[in-house]
């Protein structure tokens, strides 16, 4: 047996989910999403063609980025015209994390726009480097996220935080930014777990997902090239981002654990690719093979 398949089988044997978890009616196979940042270059060239390609590849829903800018609104409109679901979007995060900055729109205004656009999830996709230098910085961000999550819940919208690798870098006192978030996030505030960046940060994605359990609202499925030193808190090379099944992260145990944790949506994402349209087809083929 191939080593990766042996590891997958060993992990899966420890779970209590029924054997049919990854059959054709699996929720993540039926309703698999695509984070549209993957197709950003194709979208810039022709949004309709790019989204039509996503639909043709078998994706059932998409997650835009940049909400509420004009391009994200165009993505939402065209996606729905094509029959694609749009429930979640990455958005202008500084409205939550740095609301005092000049020119930042009030979060209440973004919530109104999200409600009008029919979104049920908003995701903070990033933190500016200047806002995350210390553990206290992360505590301040967590406090602001918690307040915004309560505000979002009142509007019928789930707020979540999407990780990169930097949250797993050691800070003073031996803690990490992600440790702070796990300790400080209120029940209303969820995680969107990006398995590539978790792995890059030196943590096993399925184990972290199991630990967080119902605190994870969405998962980003993304594969990491073999041979990258781990943990790695630097900017990774473009070729570190691989199609599902082409790297070192087994997707099957993650999907099984996501089901046990009650994750609402899994999205495929590939930050860099020489041919993103081909990449999303290849990743879908891998998911269908599980």
In a domain, 225, yes or no: yes
In a domain, 168, yes or no: yes
What is the pLDDT, as a whole number, of residue 262?
Answer: 94
Which CATH number is 204's domain given? 3.20.20.150
In a domain, 13, yes or no: no
Report how many domains make up the chain. 1
What is the pLDDT, as a whole number, of residue 108?
Answer: 98
What is the pLDDT, as a whole number, of residue 290?
Answer: 84
In a domain, 82, yes or no: yes
Q: Can you read off the two tokens belonging to residue 150?
A: 């309560």
Q: pTM surpassing 0.75? A: yes
Give the structural domain span for 172: 27-289
In a domain, 66, yes or no: yes
Listed in sequence order, the residues at least 6 apart from 244 whose beta carbon sits closer than 8 Å to its beta carbon are: 221, 222, 223, 251, 268, 282, 283, 286, 287
In a domain, 6, yes or no: no
What is the pLDDT, as a whole number, of residue 16?
Answer: 38
Q: Can you read off the two tokens belonging to residue 180?
A: 């702070």
What is the pLDDT, as a whole number, of residue 185?
Answer: 98
In a domain, 99, yes or no: yes
Which residue numbers in the chain have pLDDT < 70?
Answer: 1-25
What is the pLDDT, as a whole number, of residue 198?
Answer: 98
Ranges of H-type helices in 158-289: 177-184, 195-200, 205-212, 251-261, 276-289
In a domain, 15, yes or no: no
- Contact between 110 and 148 (Cβ < 8 Å): no
What is the pLDDT, as a whole number, of residue 23?
Answer: 58
What is the pLDDT, as a whole number, of residue 110?
Answer: 98
């Amino acid at each position: 047996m191939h080593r990766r398949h042996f590891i997958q089988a060993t992990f899966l044997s420890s779970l209590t989910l029924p054997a049919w978890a990854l059959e054709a009616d699996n929720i993540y196979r039926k309703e698999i999403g695509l984070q549209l940042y993957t197709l950003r270059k194709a979208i810039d060239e022709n949004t309709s063609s790019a989204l039509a390609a996503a639909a043709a590849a078998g994706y059932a829903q998409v997650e835009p980025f940049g909400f509420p800018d004009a391009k994200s609104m165009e993505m939402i409109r065209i996606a729905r015209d094509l029959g694609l679901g749009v429930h979640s979007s990455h958005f202008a995060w500084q409205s939550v994390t740095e609301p005092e900055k000049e020119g930042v729109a009030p979060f209440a205004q973004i919530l109104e726009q999200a409600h009008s656009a029919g979104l049920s999830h908003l995701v903070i996709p990033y933190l500016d480097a200047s806002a995350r230098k210390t553990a206290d910085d992360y505590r301040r961000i967590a406090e602001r996220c918690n307040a915004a999550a309560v505000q979002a819940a009142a509007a019928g919208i789930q707020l979540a935080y999407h990780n990169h690798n930097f949250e797993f870098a050691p800070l003073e006192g031996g803690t990490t930014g992600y440790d702070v978030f796990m300790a400080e996030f209120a029940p209303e505030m969820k995680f969107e777990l990006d398995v590539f960046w978790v792995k890059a940060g030196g943590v096993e994605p399925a184990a972290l997902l199991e630990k967080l359990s119902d605190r994870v609202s969405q998962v980003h499925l993304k594969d990491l090239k073999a041979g990258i030193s781990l943990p790695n808190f630097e900017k990774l090379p473009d070729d570190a981002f691989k199609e599902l099944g082409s790297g070192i992260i087994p997707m099957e145990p993650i999907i099984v654990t996501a089901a046990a944790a009650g994750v609402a949506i899994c999205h495929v994402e590939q930050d860099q690719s020489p041919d993103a349209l081909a990449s999303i087809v290849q990743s879908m083929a891998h998911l269908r093979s599980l």
